[in-house]
Each structure stands twice: as C-alpha cells, then as structure tokens.
Chain A
Amino acid sequence: MDDLEQLYQTTYTAVVRFLYRKVWDADRAEDLAQEVFVRALAHRPEKPRAWVFAVAANLARDEARAAIRRKRHLTLMTNDPDQGPSPSMAADDQVERDERLTAVHDALDTLTPRDREVLLLWDGGLSYPEIAAQTGLAVGAVGTTLARARKRLVDAYDRQHNTGDNAAHS
C-alpha cells in the first residue's frame, strides 16, 4: 500500500465531508472527492494531505461558480414546485436529523469565510501548520481563529436552537 493509498483510506471520508459542507449535495461532494483523488494519483504531490484539501477547496469554489450556470440549464427543463423531502424519508428520525443539519448549517453560515474555512480544515484533520499554509494565516493565528470560530459556531447554534441539545455534549 503506497502513501497515497493509505491517505485515500484514511482521508476520503473526511474529504467528502469537507466538500459536502461547501456544496451541500452528497452526490456532488462524492464526485468532487473522487476527482480530488484522481488528480492526486495523477500528480503525486509531495504533501498529499494538505494538497488534497487545497484541491478540494478549489473545486468547491469552482463548483459555486458552476452552480450558477447549472441552474440556468436545469431550469430549462421544468420549474420545480417544491423540493420537499419525499414521504419515504419522513421518519421522525430523519426529520430530526434534517432539522439539526439545517441548524448547524445556519450556524456555520454566521461565521466569516476565513473562520469557517479554518474550522472545516481542522475538522478535516489538517494540522495547524497545514491550515496556515492553505489559508495564508500565520501558524500562531490558527489557534486564535479556531478559538473564535468554535465559540461563534456554538453560540450561533444555541441562539437559534435554545431548546437545548444536550445529546451532543457527552
């Protein structure tokens, strides 16, 4: 098993998650994650872990631009009344999970782009120096940024979700 394969086994899911939190589409996130690793396998970068997340971040940015074009094409076909969840997904469980997802998504949206990026990269498994290299921050500033991002995320979530969500604490 070479380094890249090992990285693939340990990091693929984290990359999908990282992308998902940017494009908000599970299939798209997976397609992009595969693209990231195909590129990694073709380029054999020196610092593959940092490289993989850097490419993922770029693809997600491109994706945001492409989404505008895509929307135009998709609307040509029909106008969608409502993309509500289908009945089969309406189990209580799912509803609860969706609500939670939306709440955290909203909370994440209250962060500044930089704070959000640092937090997501950290959650993706990058180290402080790797995060610093990717975001252009000084290594010393990563801790400050993370401290702020974590506090804001939790505060924002609690503000809109003050029913108390203790399950997550333990």
Chain B
Amino acid sequence: MRHIPDEELHAYLDQALSRAQCVEIESHLASCAGCSEARDGIAALRDRTTALLAALAPPRRFPPIIDDLREQAAARTARRDQARRVAVWAASIAAAVALGWGANAYVSRPHTGTPASIAASERTTRTPAARAVSTPASPDSLPGDERAARKDPAASDAASRTVSFTSAARREPELPPARAPLMAEPPRTEVSSATLPSAEGDAALGGIWRTLSWAGARDERGDSVPHLDGLPVVEVQVGPGKTGGNKSIMVVAQQLKSGEVIRTIEGPAADVSQLLSSRPGAASPSPWPSMESAGIAGGDGAMAMRHGDRMLAITAQLPNDSLRAMMRRLNAEMRQK
C-alpha cells in the first residue's frame, strides 16, 4: 500500500478531498503508524500557520452598516448612466472649487501663480454661465438639509469611524508636524474685497463672505479656526451659515510647499456639504460623491468628516490619498484644540 504524500494530507485536513478519497486515506491512516504521525505533524503545522497569520490582523473594528455601502453602490449604478457628465465633472471639481473661491482673486489680479487662480483663469469665460445656473435652483441638487437629514441614522457609525481615524492618525502620523511657522498675519493676498463670486448669487448660502486676517479669524473663532498646523495661511474667509449668528462657515486657504493651495472648511454640516456640492457651471449637477457616506468620504478634490451637526472638510487638487491623510491630520489637530 502506498504512503500518503504530504500535500494530500494537507488537502485531507483542509477538507478539500472527495468522500471517496477521505475514506481511502482514513483507512490507510488506521493501519500505518508512519502516515498517522505525519498527519499529526501536518495538523500541528496547519494550526501553527493559522496562529501566526492571526497575528497579522489589523485592530478589529465594527464593519460599516451594509446599508451605507448599498447606498454607495446604488449611487454608483445610477452614476454609470450619466458617466459622461460625471467624467467631465470629476475632472473639473478642483477647478470648480477654485472658480467658486478663486475667481475673485483672478479678477483682481489675473496671474498669481497659485494653482487655484490658474484653474480659475482657465475657466473664467464660463463664469457668467456658472452664476446663472447656481445650484439651489437646480432640481437634482439635494438641498443640504435633506442631505443632512438622510445621513442622521448613520451618525453613530460616523462617530465610531471618526474615533478610529483619530487614533490612527496618532499611531501612524502620515503627515508629521510641519515645520513652517504659522504666519501671524497672512501675506498680502490678492483678495481684497470680501465677497465670493459663488456666494454672491447663491440665495441659499446667502449673504456676504468676509475675508479676515489670521488674527481676526482667531478673534472670532479662538482655537477652532480650521487649519493644518504649520502651513502658511494664505487667506481666511467667513460666510454666514444659513442659520446665521454663531453658526458661520469658515474657509481657510493654506499653501503647501509645493505651491498647491488647500482649503479647510468648517461649518454647519448642511452648509458645508452644500458648499462642496455647489458646482458653478454644471448644467445638470449630479450628487457630490464625497458626501454620500456619512463618515469620511472622498471624491477627487474633497474630503469631509462629520461631527454631529458640524462638518470639517478639505479641498485641494490632490489625489484622494493625500486628501485623506490631510483630513485625518486635520481632524486629529482640531480635536486637540
């Protein structure tokens, strides 16, 4: 009678053999001490491997609620149908954001050299159209309130994710503390007037945006000015939230060493998500994908995280991974304040 080769014993223990094969092996094992011993050795090796691999596991977290994923999947299926429009849109998110906040800069000083203003200048010709189709009037754009309301059931999940992100940021600082000193005063910037073009014609956000100095922003918000420690501040803008009063929305532009401008945004969740989803120039707005999941979400150019009824966001013309890393760092920093 032949002895049983190792790989067959592995397959036997892995329950990968047919019943007939199993019977054959078992009857042999019963009468062959050598193979029986080999079987025990392989069983131990198998257990050992499983135990070793068990060490290679990330910290256990609660999986997200499947309904959140379903929602994303449904949105994705729907989006496939309008793939062309979305493609155009995705390519221009950063430009659209820049248009919103940067067009004014362009008007007062055409070539500042920042990516935002360059992006704005490329699209300046579209600005009038952009204003004409401002988002609130558009039927498919989901008003911020509804958006926020729809997300509420998932708020607890969002909270747990947020916690885990915070601890992750602390454990593996993907973005170490930057060294560039934070400017006490922003450098002279091109933006002198206080209004934002996108907000001007935007009845929902309403009112006037103001540009503040860094010190002014600190006066107004104390430590909670949304920003990444260590990066030079280019500009701080404050807009009235829909609810007015204290619930203002603040946008802080900072510049990376590479010259790219990132904007951190903090404000009432509904206002921030509306601001992010308002895309001047889009004839038929599709839902902003980064707002689809309740916790952290991303699309090219924006990343947001929700804290109760407030929302913290970052936009920049950077890959999602970079944005995500910045978002985590921002979140961790803001929590410490």
Contacts and interface: CB of A to CB of B under 8 A. Distances in A.
> Which of B7, B42, B256 has the most chain A CB atoms closer than 10 A to its own CB?
B7
A139 to B, nearest CB: 8
Contacts of B52: 104, 107, 153-154, 157, 168
B56 A105 contact: yes
Contact of A88 (B16, B61, B74, B170): B170
A99 B13 CA distance: 30
A108 B59 contact: no
Interface in B25-74: 42, 44-53, 55-61, 63-64, 66, 69-70, 72-74
A127 B321 CA distance: 34
B60 A143 contact: no
Interface string A50-94: 000000000000000010011001101111110101101100000
A114 B110 CA distance: 56
* Size bin of chain A's contact surface: 35 or more
A12 B66 CA distance: 10
Interface string B241-274: 0000000000000001110100000000000000
Contact of B14 (A31, A42, A85, A128): A128
B195 interface: no
Contacts of B154: none
Given A42-B77, A74-B322, A26 B69 contact: no
A47 interface: no
B94 to A, nearest CB: 14
Contacts of A79: 176
A165 to B, nearest CB: 8
> Which of B8, B59, B73 has the most chain A CB atoms closer than 10 A to its own CB?
B73
A139 B18 CA distance: 13
Contacts of A108: 56
Interface string B197-219: 00000000000000000000000
A159 interface: no
B150 to A, nearest CB: 18
A154 B14 contact: no
B172 A70 contact: no
Contacts of A123: 49-50, 53
B82 to A, nearest CB: 15
Contacts of B165: 27
A70 B64 CA distance: 26
A59 B239 CA distance: 40
B11 A143 contact: yes
A150 B66 contact: no
Interface string B9-23: 111001010000000
B133 interface: no
> Which of A81, A127, A128 has the most chain B CB atoms closer than 10 A to its own CB?
A128
A100 B58 contact: no
- A interface majority secondary structure: helix
Contacts of A70: 319, 321-322
Contacts of B45: 150-151, 154
A85 B168 CA distance: 11
Contacts of A104: 52-53, 55-56
Contacts of B256: 76-77
Contacts of A30: 58, 61
A158 B49 CA distance: 12
B318 interface: yes
17 contacts: A21-B56, A25-B172, A26-B58, A66-B321, A69-B319, A70-B321, A73-B322, A76-B256, A77-B256, A78-B178, A86-B170, A86-B173, A122-B14, A142-B16, A153-B52, A154-B49, A169-B51
Interface of A: 5, 8-9, 12-13, 16-17, 20-21, 25-27, 29-31, 34, 37-42, 66, 69-70, 73-74, 76-81, 83, 85-86, 88-89, 97, 100-101, 104-105, 107-108, 119-120, 122-123, 127-128, 139, 142-144, 146-147, 150-151, 153-154, 157, 168-169
Shortest Cβ-Cβ A-B pairs, 9 listed: A26-B58, A41-B73, A143-B11, A168-B51, A128-B16, A42-B73, A143-B7, A144-B7, A80-B176
Given A8-B63, A27-B164, A70-B321, 16 more contacts: A17-B56, A27-B165, A27-B168, A38-B72, A41-B73, A41-B74, A70-B322, A74-B322, A76-B256, A78-B176, A143-B16, A147-B6, A147-B42, A150-B45, A153-B53, A169-B47
